[in-house]
Amino acid sequence: KDVQKEREPHVYLSKEEVKEKIQSYNSSVTDKLKMTLNANGIYTGFIKVQMELCRPITVQSSQSQGRCAPSNQETAFYLPDGCVNTLHISSTNTVQEVIEALLKKFFVADNPAKFALYKRCHKEDQVYTCKLSDREHPLYLRLVAGPKTEMLSFVLREHETGEVMWEAFSIPELQNFLRILDKEENDQLQILKNRYAAYRGKLEEALRGVLKPG
């Protein structure tokens, strides 16, 4: 079940409660991705983000990394389903900063405004997916929920079709999308042609057997 926005009230923890939560969290961790509490009260840790992208992403080549201007050394492709990435962040990092860091880590050239971070959780035998606002702090949500991804996981998606900021796409990106769609259309057309050619061959063969004299 998808929920448009996170509507739960936030309960802010005291410094002592944060310390206790982190100790409890670290005692339950099974993958060594523990949290660390600093003297200033800020804590750091890891979150895993599953990539559920329906549209192609644009990735910079090694020659164009670090440049601000669009480059012809950029490639658009579909990310494989189920790809999960791990980020090391702090309790002060917002959803927007997490999205930007995730894209930067993998040299994705697309505008971060095209994407949204969702949280997925289990409640009363149902799975809920809701979009987080830009001001949310993912590591705080991870701490409160505990380390089990069955209780809480993060998902990166594109904005819904009606929310797409097409002006955020560059001309080369849009042209790449069109080329990918043209290729997919041609591939599907060829599959259909091959399928019906096979059916036609079998039908003609059957007809020859029925009409064969004697």
Neighbouring residues of 183: CB distance < 8 A, sequence distance ≥ 6: none
Give the per-residue pLDDT at 26. 96
pLDDT tens for each residue of the chain, 214 residues long? 444 454 445 567 888 999 999 999 999 998 889 999 999 999 999 999 998 888 778 887 654 444 444 445 667 777 777 788 899 999 999 999 999 998 888 788 888 888 999 998 877 778 888 889 888 999 999 999 999 988 899 999 887 655 556 666 677 767 777 777 788 788 888 888 988 998 888 888 888 777 766 5
What confidence score (pLDDT) does residue 69 get?
43
Q: What is the pLDDT of residue 169?
A: 65
What angle is formed at CA 99 by the lines to CA 2 and CA 95, rounded to 5 degrees? 65
* 166: number of Cβ within 10 Å: 7
Instruction: Tell me what pLDDT residue 214 has.
Output: 57
Residue 43's pLDDT is what?
Answer: 95
- Level-2 CATH architecture, domain 15-60+71-161: Roll (3.10)
pTM of the model: 0.65
Beta bridge partners of 153: 120
Residue 67 pLDDT: 44
**Phi/psi zone of residue 100: left (φ > 0), alpha (ψ -120 to 50 degrees), beta?**
alpha
- The first and second tokens of residue 69, run together, are 């201007």
Q: Is 38 exposed, middle or buried (0-12, 13-18, 19+ CB in 10 A)?
A: exposed
User: Beta-carbon neighbour count of residue 155 at 10 Å?
Assistant: 18
Token pair listed for 54: 């329906």
